Amino acid sequence: MQALIQRVSHASVHVAGALVGSIARGYLLLLCAEHGDSEREAERLLARVLKLRVFPDANGKMQHSLQDMDGQGTPGGLLVVSQFTLAADLSSGNRPSFTSAAPPELARALFDHFVQCARKQHPVVQTGVFAAHMQVSLLNDGPVTIPLRVRALPDPH
């Protein structure tokens, strides 16, 4: 499972002209499920996202996480948008292949699980609409853009 995290001053998602999700300062997270991913990968990825320290302290050093972005306990917003195109493979030419992306049913289930877990662990979570054509607006802060991937682990049983 992979994500592209962008630290934003604000971000929003519109579907068919209607606002479906928006946040102030925080992360816009583009999320892609791949073949072999399970709820374990979604949970591991979420843990990494919530602990990622890319908000500046008083000295401008990236020191604070989304859950404490100002060092005073203030949580940032998390806007999660499904993005199967993160699985793009251009090794065979200029037209991307998306064969490593999870099938839509599994991808939707993992997206929903990620969001459900995020809402249990973080107070400000918004989303786009899975599989919809979306217009995503953001003001990247920094800019800070971090790719993050967790691989499927062998089954311990």
Among residues 2, 6, 67, 84, the one annotated as catalytic is 84
**E runs forming strands in 16-151:** 18-23, 26-32, 53-56, 62-65, 77-82, 125-127, 134-149
42 SS3 class: helix
Q: Six-digit token pair at 42?
A: 């979604």
Out of 74, 85, 116, 135, the active site residue is: 85
> Is 85 an active-site residue?
yes
HSE of 101, CA atoms in CB hemisphere, 13 A: 21
Active site residue 84: yes
Which residue matches tokens 């089954």? 155
Strand-pairing partners, residue 56, are 62
Q: Which residue has the tokens 């037209």?
A: 95
Catalytic annotation present for 111: no
Neighbours of 105 (CB within 10 A): 8
Write down the catalytic residue from 2, 6, 83, 126: 83
Residues assigned a catalytic role:
83-85
